[in-house]
Amino acid sequence: MHPVDRDRLVSLRREFHRHPEPAWREFWTTARIVEELDRIGVDDLFVGPDALDADARMGLPADADFDAWRDRARDAGVDPDRLDRLDGGHTGAIAVLDGDRAGPTVALRVDIDGLPREESDDPDHHPAAAGFRSETGAMHACGHDAHATIGLGVLEALSDRDFAGRLNVLFQPAEEVVGGAAPMAESGHIDDVDYLLALHIGLDHPTGQVVAGIEGFLAVSHFRAEFGGEGSHAGGHPAEGRNAVQAMATAVQNLYAIPRHEDGATRVNAGDVGGGTAANIVPEQAYIEGEVRGETTALMEYMRDRADRVLDQAAAMHDCEVGIDTSGQAPSAENDPELVDVVEAVAGRTEGVESVLRHDDLGGSEDATYLMRHVQDRGGKAAFVCVGTDHPGGHHTATFDVDEDSLPVGVAVLADTITHLGREAP
């Protein structure tokens, strides 16, 4: 294994941090990753449309959104031919590195998208003080800049090929909309994977701590419901309208009132709603962007069935139409204990790791579960590893930041685990 170059990792991470791009618009990010992979030298490389089953993508933005971010990437120096390949939401990449001897096929999944939110410009916020605050209006507020960096770092560390088997690193787009894992799972590139490692940084664990297997993924389904009625003058013709806001409000009340299920935890949220145009017009349009979750996939599906029923009948009650789109979805998943054993053991002897937890609960959702299940359904094993990092603000907040000391720790734990898995091969 090549020694880990902390400075290069820090420099790369800051570059990514300055250029966050939201789901399916990771144009600059993908291009920069490819550039770095060219430098490292990998054995195979699938970029954008070649790394995805495009039909399986979820949570795509409107076309106009692609244009603005593509233009931004071009202005930031991305090669136009490269951009043409990525356009329309064909982002991400899969890099393949072959060890110098036979062994298992391992996949490492890192996600690369940013969040559609402003970054703090408080001088106490390190990226602002140190000059690598976001330049795009979006923000790496969940540490995916570190994920992409660690993915590249692992490839570089193992680029001496001193390991058994094959390594695929999945630079996955669109995790934040729960939409990028399914198309990568369906791409055909991970069908033969023996071990899948998914990575997350932070999650309230400090620098120096590693969690070998994050548990408690809630299956999730994101949806968008569009209600259509008919406008009318609220003073002159109130009864001529078909009120889409009444339909939406009735739906919101009843979505939250879906009966709790005895088989386990469930969630529902109408997180982004709106409707109408002016105080004096009976509202013609309304929408709900919402989600349901379940401790199991079956519980999530129970909630989703009930939610669809509520949405349909709320529209019908107010003589409106409704269209419901699934904009993202992921199952629940569990770690394989054998693989967690390996991570736990390796992490315990890695420099920079001060404590190792076997398990902790996420209590949220992650579309890595799609990849985990895909691998497990074909006989492989999967684990979701957390590399701790001190982070001053919570995930998704304006002051989120990572402790860059955790970057080499992450590279070491993962590269060592991959090497170890080769040794374990029969």
**Cα distance between residue 114 and residue 116, in whole Å:** 7
Which is nearer to a copy of itself, 241 or 408 (by Cβ)?
Answer: 241
Binder among 162, 362, 393, 399 for a copy of itself (CB under 8 A) = 362
In what helix (H) or strand (E) does residue 198 lie, and over which residues does it extend? strand 195-201
58 binds a copy of itself (CB under 8 A): no
Closest CB to a copy of itself among 80 and 259? 259
The single residue listed with the structure tokens 């609220």 is 234
> Does 64 help bind a copy of itself (rule: CB under 8 A)?
no
- Find the binder of a copy of itself among 5, 128, 254, 345 (CB under 8 A): 254
395 is in an annotated binding site: no
At 212 the three-state DSSP class reads strand
Burial class (CB in 10 A: 0-12, 13-18, 19+), 163: buried
The residue from 210, 282, 353, 375 that contacts a copy of itself (CB under 8 A) is 282
CB of 84 to a copy of itself, least distance (A): 30
Secondary structure, 3-state, 143-160: CHHHHHHHHHHHHHHCCC
Is 200 annotated for ligand binding? yes
Flag whether 144 is marked binding: yes
Q: Which listed range, 155-163, 214-222, 341-349, 374-382, lies at the site for a copy of itself (CB under 8 A)?
A: 214-222
Give me the least distance between CB of 127 and a copy of itself, in Å please: 22
388 near a copy of itself, judged by CB under 8 A = no
142 marked as binding residue: yes
Of 31, 106, 220, 371, which one interacts with a copy of itself (CB under 8 A)? 220
Sort strands 164-172 and 101-111 into parallel, antiparallel or unpaired: parallel
Residue from 259, 349, 379, 426 that binds a copy of itself (CB under 8 A)? 259
How far apart, in whole angstroms, are the C-alpha atoms of residue 398 and residue 401? 9
Q: SS3 of 321, please?
A: strand
Give the rounded distance of the alpha carbon of 212 from its chain centre.
19
- Compute the least distance from the CB of residue 215 to a copy of itself, in Å: 13
> CB burial class (10 A; 0-12, 13-18, 19+) of residue 75?
exposed
The CB-of-219 to a copy of itself minimum distance in angstroms stands at 10
277 counts as binding a copy of itself under rule CB under 8 A: yes
CA distances in angstroms from 25 to 21, 57, 140, 326, listed in the order given: 6, 13, 14, 19
Least Å from the CB of residue 324 to a copy of itself: 13
- DSSP code at position 188: S
Q: Which helix (H) or strand (E) holds 288?
A: strand 285-294
Interstrand relation of 219-228 and 164-172 (parallel, antiparallel or unpaired): unpaired
Integer Cα distance of 308 and 323 in angstroms: 10
Q: Give the binding-site size for a copy of itself (rule: CB under 8 A).
A: 69
**Contact in structure between 220 and 327 (CB atoms under 8 Å):** no
Q: Is 396 annotated as a binding residue?
A: yes
Binding mask 300-319 for a copy of itself (x = CB under 8 A): --x------xx--xx-xxxx
- Residue 269 touches a copy of itself, criterion: CB under 8 A: yes
Give the interface with a copy of itself as residue ranges (CB under 8 A): 218, 220, 222-223, 233-241, 243, 245-246, 248-250, 252-254, 256-257, 259-283, 286, 289-291, 293, 302, 309-310, 313-314, 316-319, 327, 362-365, 396
